[in-house]
């Protein structure tokens, strides 16, 4: 088994960013720890942070487990990550403007046409349209893993509606409430400006026809959605209305919101529903969640939709393999953050290699998400591997494979005390007139010993992410 980089301990010594946490943990007896853990859970319940998991039945008010041991980055580590994330967000947006326009990257042979134009997420309805400020993806969630002191890899890009930011904000809020001394002793960069920056980002991409202070709303599919808590939380924090499809209507060249004082014009819609459901006249005719006629208003410059319809073609797992190429093509720069080496099963040589090494690889569906539709070779039984082999052979183009990375570990509170558990990181990059991100992000932790799957739907938890001030 590969050695995993422990972010707190190296060669028996505590790494600098964690220096002040060792004493904190040693001074916390087990009873106090259990008490604090119960207090954190009670706070989460009281605030109402829950996460329903589709198709699993069970408790719709299940809490995502919260781990009190923070994950820490130095200012220098963060500065490097921030540059790489912003570079990636710029390239992904340049790619989207290009593939809905002239398609230069396809013409130049850098990316296969079928991957773009035959992609389910490619929306023909927006071909030739350039959204305000040339931004398609306004909130880019980039999932990162660490494998060594200097080594970070991008696992995937989320260009549509990345969720989890409410956890980033609430984890911090709860940690500050429970351990105020820790925040006095450590100079930690704040994350609480996120709602303000998000609101500014959304307002900065108001449509051409907006001649006043832009009215921003969050469009939710409703309270049955697993991320509904986050939708209402962000609306509250930004001071904007949370609306469902039936609260909005199109009249003439604009979109209006029904209010007790009569119709009110809406300029920017931060939508948390999928493309297929936003306009039954343009996409799925059976959608009850959308606004009939919305796309006509959008294309004529009467309203902005964030993220833009069609943005999903940039975060497909097969398109992901070409992001380093996008950075070189559009920005003329070398990628600052590396992709995980990836084999594309659509290509014969790659397919042969993957089938030969199935027991050692992680195989993912190109359109899959949430840790579903994947095989983790080293932890799967022979029968599971053979079943998956059949699925790959039936539709090779639907799969990519990657090596099993030695994900870094951070100390985590478990029943027996403190133990290392694998983590990843999702920072949230906001793209409007400017590109900004708050220092930190959502650290997800695989709570099962040895597990590499950090998704909340698969039993993962979350922890506060600290970036130390210079």
Statement: residue 58 has pLDDT above 50: no
| The Cα angle at residue 261 between residues 216 and 303, in degrees rounded to 5 | 30
Statement: residue 64 has pLDDT above 90: no
* CATH label of the domain that carries residue 389: 3.30.1490.270
The 3-class secondary structure across the chain, one letter per residue, is CCCCCECCEECCEECHHHHHHHHHHHCCCHHHHHHHHHHHHHHHHHHCCCCCCCCCCCCCCCCCCEEEEEEEECHHHHHHHHHHHHHHHHHHHHHHHHHCCCCHHHHCCCCCHHHHHCCCCCCHHHCCCCCHHHCCCCEEEEEEEECCCCCEEEEEEECCCCCCHHHHHHHHHHHHHHCHHHHHHCCECCCCCHHHHHHHHHHHCCCCCCCCCCCEEEECCCCCCCCHHHHHHHHHHHCCEEECHHHEEEECCEEEECCCCCCEEECEEEECCCHHHCCCCCCCCCCCCCCCCHHHHHHCCCCEEECCCCHHHHCCCCHHHHHHHHHHHHHCCCCCCEECCCEECCCHHHHHHHHHCHHHEEEEECCCCCCCCEEEHHHCCHHHHHHHHHHHHHCHHHEEEEECCCCCEEEEEECCEEEEEEEEEECEEEECCCEEECCCCEEEEECCCCCCCCCHHHCEEEEEEEEECC
Q: Collect all residues with Cβ–Cβ distance below 8 Å to 408 and sequence separation of at least 6.
A: 4, 5, 6, 7, 145, 146, 147, 148, 422, 423
With b meaning 16 or more CB within 10 Å and e meaning fewer, what string describes 167-184? Answer: bbbbbbebbeeebeebee
Q: Work out the mean pLDDT of the chain and round it to a whole number.
A: 91
Residue that is last in its domain, among 363, 383, 403? 403
In this structure, the answer to whether residues 243 and 315 fall within a common structural domain is yes
Statement: residue 53 has pLDDT above 50: no
Could you tell me if residue 1 is inside a domain? no
Q: Collect all residues with Cβ–Cβ distance below 8 Å to 270 and sequence separation of at least 6.
A: 138, 198, 202, 216, 217, 218, 219, 234, 240, 306
In this structure, the answer to whether residues 391 and 458 fall within a common structural domain is no
What is the per-residue pLDDT across 137-176, written as a single tens digit (0 to 9) for each? 999 999 999 999 999 999 999 999 898 999 999 999 999 9
Could you tell me if residue 297 is inside a domain? yes
Question: Which is nearest to 69 in space by CA: 202, 161, 154, 182?
Answer: 182
Which pLDDT belongs to residue 339?
Answer: 96
Higher model confidence: residue 397 or residue 432?
A: 432
What is the per-residue pLDDT across 178-219, written as a single tens digit (0 to 9) for each? 999 999 999 999 999 999 999 999 999 999 899 999 999 999
Average pLDDT over residues 67-78: 96
**DSSP β-ladder status, 442-446 and 417-426:** antiparallel
Which pLDDT belongs to residue 457?
Answer: 67
In this structure, the answer to whether residues 98 and 130 fall within a common structural domain is yes
pLDDT category at 3 given cuts 50, 70, 90 is confident
Residue that is last in its domain, among 403, 421, 446? 403
What is the per-residue pLDDT across 134-146, written as a single tens digit (0 to 9) for each? 999 999 999 999 9
* Cα gap 112→133, rounded to integer Å: 27
Percent of the chain clearing pLDDT 90 (strictly above): 76
Could you tell me if residue 170 is inside a domain? yes
What is the per-residue pLDDT across 36-45, written as a single tens digit (0 to 9) for each? 999 998 888 8
Could you tell me if residue 3 is inside a domain? no
What domain range is 372 assigned to?
Answer: 343-403
Average pLDDT over residues 281-286: 90
What is the per-residue pLDDT across 408-451, written as a single tens digit (0 to 9) for each? 999 999 888 889 999 999 999 999 999 999 999 999 999 888 88
Taken in order 249, 267, 300, 282, the sign of the CA dihedral is negative
Could you tell me if residue 382 is inside a domain? yes
In this structure, the answer to whether residues 358 and 246 fall within a common structural domain is no
In this structure, the answer to whether residues 40 and 171 fall within a common structural domain is yes
| The Cα angle at residue 82 between residues 80 and 83, in degrees rounded to 5 | 70
In this structure, the answer to whether residues 334 and 349 fall within a common structural domain is no
pTM for the predicted model, two decimal places:
0.93
How many other β-carbons are positioned within 10 Å of the β-carbon of residue 327?
23
Which pLDDT belongs to residue 54?
Answer: 39
Residue that is last in its domain, among 403, 424, 451? 403
In this structure, the answer to whether residues 367 and 429 fall within a common structural domain is no
Which pLDDT belongs to residue 455?
Answer: 75
* Cα gap 194→204, rounded to integer Å: 15
Number of domains within the chain: 2
Average pLDDT over residues 248-276: 96
pLDDT category at 56 given cuts 50, 70, 90 is very low
Which pLDDT belongs to residue 55?
Answer: 40
pLDDT category at 2 given cuts 50, 70, 90 is low
In this structure, the answer to whether residues 279 and 387 fall within a common structural domain is no
Percent of the chain clearing pLDDT 70 (strictly above): 96
Which pLDDT belongs to residue 62?
Answer: 67
In this structure, the answer to whether residues 423 and 355 fall within a common structural domain is no
Could you tell me if residue 426 is inside a domain? yes
What is the per-residue pLDDT across 285-336, written as a single tens digit (0 to 9) for each? 988 899 999 999 999 999 999 999 999 999 988 899 999 999 999 999 999 9
Statement: residue 459 has pLDDT above 90: no
Q: Is residue 242 within 8 Å of residue 232, measured between CB atoms? A: yes
In this structure, the answer to whether residues 45 and 191 fall within a common structural domain is yes
Could you tell me if residue 2 is inside a domain? no
Average pLDDT over residues 351-369: 87
| Residue 71 structure tokens | 């994950």
């Amino acid at each position: 088994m590969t050695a995993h980089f422990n972010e707190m301990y190296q060669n028996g010594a505590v790494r600098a960013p964690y220096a002040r946490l060792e004493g904190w943990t040693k001074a916390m007896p087990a009873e106090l720890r259990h008490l604090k853990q119960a207090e954190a859970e009670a706070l989460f319940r009281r605030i109402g942070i829950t996460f329903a998991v589709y198709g699993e039945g069970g408790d719709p008010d299940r809490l995502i487990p919260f781990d009190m041991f923070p994950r820490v980055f130095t200012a220098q580590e963060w500065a490097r990550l921030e540059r790489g994330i912003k570079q990636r967000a710029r390239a992904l947006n340049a790619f989207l403007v290009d593939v809905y326009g002239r398609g230069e990257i396809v013409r130049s042979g850098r990316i296969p046409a079928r991957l773009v134009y035959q992609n389910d997420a490619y929306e023909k309805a927006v071909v030739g349209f350039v959204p305000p400020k040339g931004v398609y993806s306004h909130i880019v969630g980039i999932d990162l893993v660490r494998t060594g002191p200097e080594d970070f890899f991008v696992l995937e890009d989320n260009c549509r509606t990345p969720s989890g930011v409410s956890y980033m904000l609430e984890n911090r809020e709860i940690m500050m409430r429970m351990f105020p001394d820790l925040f006095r002793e450590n100079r930690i960069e704040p994350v609480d400006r996120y709602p303000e920056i998000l609101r500014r980002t959304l307002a900065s991409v108001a449509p051409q026809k907006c001649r006043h202070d832009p009215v921003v709303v969050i469009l939710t599919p409703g309270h049955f959605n697993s991320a509904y808590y986050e939708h209402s939380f962000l609306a509250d924090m930004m001071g904007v209305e949370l609306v469902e499809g039936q609260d909005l209507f199109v009249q003439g060249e604009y979109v209006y919101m029904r209010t007790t004082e009569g119709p009110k014009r809406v300029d920017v819609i931060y939508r948390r529903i999928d493309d297929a459901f936003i306009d039954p006249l343009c996409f799925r005719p059976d959608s009850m969640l959308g606004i009939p006629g919305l796309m006509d208003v959008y294309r004529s410059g009467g309203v902005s939709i964030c993220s833009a319809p069609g943005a999903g073609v940039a975060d497909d797992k097969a398109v992901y393999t070409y992001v380093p190429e996008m950075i070189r093509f559009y920005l003329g720069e070398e990628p600052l953050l590396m992709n995980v080496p990836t084999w594309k099963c659509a290509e014969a040589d790659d397919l042969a290699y993957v089938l030969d090494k199935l027991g050692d690889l992680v195989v993912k569906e190109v359109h899959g998400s949430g840790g579903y539709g994947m095989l983790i070779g080293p932890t799967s039984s022979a029968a599971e591997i053979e079943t998956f082999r059949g699925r790959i052979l039936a539709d090779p183009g639907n799969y990519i494979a990657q090596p099993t990375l030695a994900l870094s570990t951070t100390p985590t509170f478990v029943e027996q005390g403190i133990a290392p558990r694998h983590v990843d990181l999702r920072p949230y990059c906001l793209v409007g007139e400017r590109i900004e991100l708050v220092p930190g992000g959502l650290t997800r932790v695989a709570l099962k010993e040895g597990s590499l799957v950090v998704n909340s739907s698969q039993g993962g938890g979350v922890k506060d992410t600290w970036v130390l001030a210079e």
